[in-house]
Amino acid sequence: MPRPLTGEPLALDLVDTIWIDQGQDFDQFDEPDGLESWLTEHALPVPPEGPEVVRAHLTTARDAVRTALEQGDERPLNAVLAHGSRRPLLRDGEPAAEVVVDDPAWTPAWIAAADLVRLLGERRERVRKCANPACVLWFYDLTKNGSRRWCSMAVCGNRTKTARFQQSHRRP
Ligand SMILES: [Zn+2]
């Protein structure tokens, strides 16, 4: 099954590269060209040596983001962030910033990890896990009243509603 398109912010989309469909685990990075297409999709630099160079650090960052979200343990995330920083600079007279890392292989991982800090700084309560207990996806709720419950209404929303409907209409 192809990965559901999440449209979520970078950090959450990274976590969402692992998903479960009908009890089976999937990993976008295990798909052919999955890693490279994920990098390209997010305008992250693909190293000249090829995408494999960043794989290990990126999966470390993915685990770290999940651990921070699901277990409240921020040490792995901070360990990833310790590999870089954002340096302010002027570009054509405009304020800008560039990411500085101790090894270029950390660049995508660092950017994704830093994105979680940004999200939690903006609206921590809007960073939520899908309400379907069988789903492992995370999302950033941008609805006006904060009422979003599902990673995708079409997938988990409907599935849960159908299950409830079947349960409540089961013959005694
Ligand atoms: Zn879901």
Structure-block tokens of residue 4 = 């559901």
Per-residue confidence (pLDDT) for residue 66, from 0 to 100:
98
155-168 tens-digit pLDDT: 888 866 666 656 66
Number of domains in the chain: 1
The verdict on residue 160 lying in a domain is: no
With a pLDDT cut of 90, the percent of the chain lying above it is: 78
In a domain, 61, yes or no: yes
Choose from 3-12, 16-25, 160-169 the range with maximum mean pLDDT.
16-25
- 88 C-alpha vs ligand 1 centroid, how far in Å? 37
Ligand 1 midpoint to CA 28 (Å):
16
pLDDT confidence of 3, banded at 50, 70, 90?
A: low
pLDDT at 89 over 90: yes
Query: How close is the Cα of 52 to the center of ligand 1, in Å?
Result: 29
Residue 139 vs residue 23, higher pLDDT: 139
Where residue 154 falls among pLDDT bands split at 50, 70, 90? confident
CA 92 to ligand 1 center in whole angstroms: 43
Is residue 134 situated within a structural domain? no
C-alpha–C-alpha distance, residues 14 and 86, integer Å: 20
Ligand 1: centre distance to CA 144 (Å) = 20
Q: Output the average pLDDT for the chain.
A: 91
Residue 40 lies in a domain: yes
The answer to whether residue 148 is domain-embedded is no
**Ligand 1: centre distance to CA 74 (Å):** 24
Cα(98) to centroid of ligand 1, in Å?
A: 34
CA 33 to ligand 1 centroid distance, Å: 24
Task: Kindly state whether residue 157 falls inside one of the protein's structural domains.
Answer: no
On whether residue 149 sits in a domain, the answer given is: no
How many angstroms does the Cα of residue 5 sit away from the middle of ligand 1? 12
Q: Which domain holds residue 111?
A: 10-121
Question: Is 144 within the bounds of a domain?
Answer: no
pTM, two decimal places: 0.89
